[in-house]
A = this chain, B = another copy of it.
């Protein structure tokens, strides 16, 4: 175990003990460094992960205090859908349903400011059963290569992930009743829930794509892990 890990465990123990209750201002970095007998950088590293986890709050001049917890953070990973299927031990299938180019009329949410777009609707299957319906808008101004891509052969999901880096993403998760497209292509009944993932990606501020990914609710869940120490 590294020193910063040992120090983090000890700090965690003090928070748990109520040695440092919520709201308490803990010693400043140099004091901690002296008392643990390490350099200030090592203390900063130990504190950093506790700040990221939401257990500590830091302000210049005011110091570091134990957070009155309001929210706890965990990490969400959303994989390429083919990998998701294969990780479940299923065989992956893919089918393009529709692909067309257009302008702002496709951009119901006004997310792309009138740029030229391409809309792709396609279906990902697991062992022959519908697994995810992908409804995607691509910003052709930002991703010109998307105009020529053959989405009958490769899904936009996978093409993008191979071709197009992004620097920021916004994800919305919800449970919903099936949309009209879901009813047709996802083989769910009107009374069955679907799990909807909406994602918008940007590269250095410019919107790249927006997608609505819907799963039959009974067949899908997301697992996240956080902390681990």
Contact = CB atoms under 8 A, between A and B. Distances in A.
Interface residues of A, number: 61
A184 interface: no
B175 A195 contact: yes
B9 A204 contact: yes
A105 interface: no
A146 to B, nearest CB: 14
A55 B221 CA distance: 24
A15 to B, nearest CB: 5
**Number of copies of this chain that the complex holds:** 2
A12 B177 contact: no
B68 A162 contact: yes
A35 interface: no
B221 A169 contact: no
A27 B159 CA distance: 26
B83 A12 contact: no
A7 B90 CA distance: 41
